[in-house]
Structure 1
Amino acid sequence: MSSRAIAEVVLEGKASQGRKVSVIIPSYRGSERLVRLVKRVASLPYEDKEVVVVVDEPLREVAEELRRIGGVKLILRPKRGGKVSALNEALRESSGEVVIFLDDDVYVEDDRFIEKVLKAMEGYDIADIKKVIVDTGGILSKLVYIEYASYNFASKLMARAARRTVAVNGAAFAVRRKALDEIGYFRPSISEDFDIALRSFKAKHNFTYIENTYVLNYPPSDFRKWFKQRKRWAIGLAAWLEENFADALKTLLRMPHAVIPGLLLALPSLSSALITFVLSNHVYEKTAYLFMLTLSSLVAQALPFASILLLNIQLIYLVKAGAILTAFFVFLFWQFAASRAVKMKSYLYLYPVYFFVYQPLWLTILLAGFIRVIVLRRKSVEDWVV
């Protein structure tokens, strides 16, 4: 075991050599959710498993609780090395033929979670695992729930239509050890899950979406934390796309039938934003109308022309409104069908808020991240170590 950044290792239970499944959980500082998750995974009845937990700068009370959990390989690091470093440290200390990666803010309800993941992985190299957002009672959790229904469906679509993927959601996914050995472990990246998925894609690994089991995923507790999370996602995605633009474009051209529907469902504000910019503000028509209106006050013969210009402007905005409403109803149908396909709730009454408020806000953050990375050349993220 490397002693570079490891303060201590606690290994309880049977020796881990030769175990088939490794469950890896990285964390910064830790929390009650981490403790709850580790206890749950350690208690799962599947015997042939090892649980590897890496915590940077652990809180004392969290470390003490984790030490009391049997059957866990616990790596406590005194300094913050970052998620990628923690994942790679855990991989070096694990031996499972299949590796399941879990974030520290998820929870596993299903007693047969590991068995079902293994069964679904037969014949596949990498898999995205279904995520279900916990409804904490507020509107934010429900909006994020709708969003994750889209993400789940996009993964299912890629699995069905292409059997390959360029992205997985790092909160819960699985990879065969053999596949990891082929492509290497995690590289320094803000979006380490996208990066490893793209390398798996380039290696022509088979991909599947696991939907017969799931993890519960907790949403940000408030919009401030949501904004912080999305800012990091935006910068990470922009940096990833900048580095892998050629591969991403090739993927789009090779399998548009899988990529485009999933992208439009995950980011429906792309369609409404495009409509808004294509049907621009028509400054010339407005200027001409004001001129003809002024002229009409002096020359009566100009009134019909001013009226025609006003009608033209109204028709333009009606067309724009009609196009956006059409996009919304297409989204409504598509999102409802997607939710049914992945067996998740619909929250139909929140679709207008999601489409017209939540999604434009997320798209704006995303585009701002692209400008920050590609134009301003700033890739650092506050309170995040790569």
Structure 2
Amino acid sequence: MAGKPRATIIIPVYRECELLSLLLERLTQDGYEEKEIIVVIDEPTRDSLELSEQHPNARFIFHEERVGKVNAMNEAAKLSHGDILIFLDGDVYIPRGVPFLEEVVREMEDTDILDIKKKICTRSFLSKMMYYEYVGFNIGSWLMARLKTGSPAINGAAFAIRRDIFESLRGFRRVVAEDLDMAMRAFVRGYRFKYTSKLMVYTPAPPNWEKWRAQRKRWALGAAMWLKEWYGELIWKALRSPQVFIPVMLFVAPSLVLLLLDLTDPNILFSNVLMASLILLMAKATSHVVLIAPAMPILYSFQGIFLADQQWAYAMRMIISTLVSFGCIALLFFSFSRKLGFEFRLHEFFGYYFAYSPVCLLFLIGYLLHVAFLPNKPDIDWKL
């Protein structure tokens, strides 16, 4: 009888991470024996160097200079011996008492790429908004796995891939969104994709709005560059399976519903473009996005009062349409949240739907326009 597959856990870190020690403790104590743990740290601090002494069962690779996440993960993969490669961010948290590696190996028996359920730790208004953003990500992955057995995108904070598949894809490419890129290349080749809600990791939200804006810039820029490179393939796949791609898009970016409602009425198209431009300028000028977000529901529902001849009739029509769309999306999120084991609070989702999600969409649209039409490349203040 063949032995169990060997699992390699690869954890890239820049300088240091407060939660890394706990993550290594969980992985070391995991009962799955056929494992190896590789931690790659760019520009390690003294605490990072001391951490390697505290966890002798993990292999540490230190780079005095920053080589970047992509290079770090590719290097670790080449030095690894596992049949299954598990990539984890250094700040994810694995719940105590969960046979994590055993379950990953079991789930990988009938797939090539495995997306692992992720939850945001809710400790602030920002984290509560990101919680529902991650709910949408998880629902999108579940739908793609169930209806297409493939996915053009994946959240790279925690996922697994078969070694032979990873090597056939020649590892990660040096792009901003290396996780989206790898998922897309696997999707085009027809590799099997699976989402599991049996396993879960927690991931923290940025501690403040300034760091959130930096993260959002990286995410939006990475997604924009990914869309620019793969838009043809994505459109072709979406046209062949609109019943799958359209719902997934609405779960990942529910504010698209608000955008579509507005675009169907030419009376407010100009005002929406103007409003979007102002919000993007404000977001670029200040890190305090929380000052912008509360105004979004008012702008969406009542801007029509100041337009057109039939002001009140138009305003009531917009308010009713907006509330109906919110009710439908909220019901869907509630149903899938229950199914996948997420909590759902209507008042929090109200803020996410009308304030947080539109701001995220504006970030994406802004960088997409930049990447598509402006000659100069956006500034990248991190190492690929």
TM category (shorter chain) comes to 0.7 to 0.9
- Measured against aligned partners, the alpha-carbon deviations of 1:100-142 in whole angstroms (never above 9, x if no partner) come to 1001110111530111111111110001100011122x11111
CA distance in structure 2 between the aligned counterparts of 1:325 and 1:161, rounded to whole angstroms: 29
Contact 1:26-1:86 within 8 A present in 2 as well: yes
1:370 & 1:130 partners in 2: Cα distance? 28
Name which of 362, 365, 380 aligns with 1:364: 362
The answer to whether the 8 A contact 2:267-2:308 is kept is no
Deviating more after overlay: 192-201 vs 19-28 = 19-28
Match of 2:188 in 1: 202
The residue type equivalent to 1:142 in the other structure is K
Instruction: Name the amino acid aligned to 1:263.
Output: M
**Distance change >3 Å, CA 199–CA 283, structure 1 → 2:** closer
Equivalent positions of 1:56-75 (< 5 A) are: 56-75=42-61
Partner of 1:121: 108
| AA at the equivalent of 1:330 | C
Instruction: Name the residue aligned to 2:352.
Output: 354
Q: Do 1:30 and 1:62's aligned partners in 2 also have CA atoms closer than 8 Å? A: yes
Paired with 1:377 and 1:283, the residues of 2 have a C-alpha distance of 27
Contact 1:239 / 1:379 at 8 angstroms: preserved in 2?
no
Task: Output the amino acid matched with 1:57.
Answer: E
Aligned residues: 344
Which of 336, 339, 353 lines up with 2:337 in the alignment? 339
Q: CA deviation at 1:19?
A: 6.6
Q: How far off its partner does 1:377 sit?
A: 4.0
Q: Distance in 2 between matches of 1:283 and 1:35?
A: 51
Question: Does 2:209 align with 1:229?
Answer: no
Matches within 5 A, 1:86-165: 86-109=72-95, 110-136=97-123, 138-165=124-151
How far off its partner does 1:276 sit? 1.6
Counterpart position of 1:176? 162
- The CA RMSD measured in Å over matched residues stands at 1.9
Once the two structures are superposed, residues 254-275 of structure 1 have per-residue CA deviations (whole angstroms, 9 ceiling, x without a partner) of 2222221111011111110221
Q: Write the distance in 2 (CA, Å) between the matches of 1:379 and 1:176.
A: 34
- The answer to whether residue 19 in structure 2 is matched with residue 33 in structure 1 is yes
Post-superposition Cα deviations, 1:331-378, rounded to whole Å, max 9, x if no partner, equal 111111121121110022212111111111111111111122112244
Distance 1:369 1:311, change over 3 A: closer
* Unpaired segments ≥5 residues, structure 1: 1-17, 285-308
> Post-superposition shift, 1:96?
0.6
In the TM superposition, residue 382 of structure 1 has moved relative to its aligned partner by 3.9
State the alpha-carbon separation in 1 of the partners of residues 379 and 106 from structure 2: 38
Q: Given the superposition, is the C-alpha separation of residues 245 and 325 from structure 1 closer, same or farther in structure 2, using an over 3 Å criterion? A: same
Question: Separation in 2 of the partners of 1:102 and 1:204?
Answer: 24
The alpha-carbon distance between structure 1 residues 204 and 79, as it changes in their structure 2 partners (threshold 3 A), is same
Structure 2: distance between partners of 1:328 and 1:381: 36
- Contact persistence 1:23–1:52 (CA under 8 A): yes
1:242 counterpart letter in structure 2: K
Q: CA deviation at 1:218?
A: 0.7
Aligned to 2:266, the other structure's residue is in SS state coil
Q: Which residue of structure 1 lines up, in the alignment, with residue 68 of structure 2?
A: 82
The secondary structure found in structure 1 opposite 2:81 is: coil
On the 8 A contact 1:32/1:62 being kept in 2, the answer is: no
Structure 1 position 281, deviation (Å): 3.2
Question: CA–CA distance in 1 between the matches of 2:269 and 2:205?
Answer: 42
Provide the rounded CA distance (Å) in 2 between the counterparts of 1:206 and 1:352. 35
State, as a whole percentage, how many aligned pairs show the same letter.
36
Tell me: CA distance 1:24–1:357, structure 2 relative to 1, closer, same or farther (3 Å).
same
Q: Distance in 2 between matches of 1:380 and 1:170?
A: 22
Q: CA deviation at 1:319?
A: 1.9
CA 1:216–1:365 in structure 2 vs 1: closer, same or farther (change >3 Å)?
A: same
Larger Rg: 1
Cα deviation for residue 381 of structure 1 reads 4.6
Residues 25 and 101, structure 1, Cα contact 8 Å, conserved in 2: yes
TM-score, scaled relative to structure 2: 0.85
Q: Distance in 1 between matches of 2:153 and 2:127?
A: 23
CA 279–97 in structure 1, closer or farther in 2 if over 3 Å, else same: same
| Equivalences for residues 264-303 of structure 1 within 5 A | 264-281=250-267
Q: What is the one-letter code of the residue matched to 2:99?
A: R
Q: Distance in 1 between matches of 2:143 and 2:109?
A: 19
Which stretch of structure 1 is more off in the superposition, 97-106 or 365-374? 365-374
SS in 2 for 1:132: strand
Specify the alignment match of 1:385 in structure 2: 383
CA distance in 2, matches of 1:369, 1:235: 6
Tell me, in whole angstroms, the C-alpha distance in 2 between the residues paired with 1:206 and 1:381: 35
Q: Give the unaligned 5+ runs of structure 2.
A: 271-306
Q: TM-score, normalised by structure 1?
A: 0.85
1:254 paired to 2:252? no
CA contact (8 A) 1:19 1:50 kept: no
Match of residue 320, structure 1, among 318, 321, 343: 318
Asked if 2 retains the 8 angstrom alpha-carbon contact of 1:67 and 1:74, the reply is no
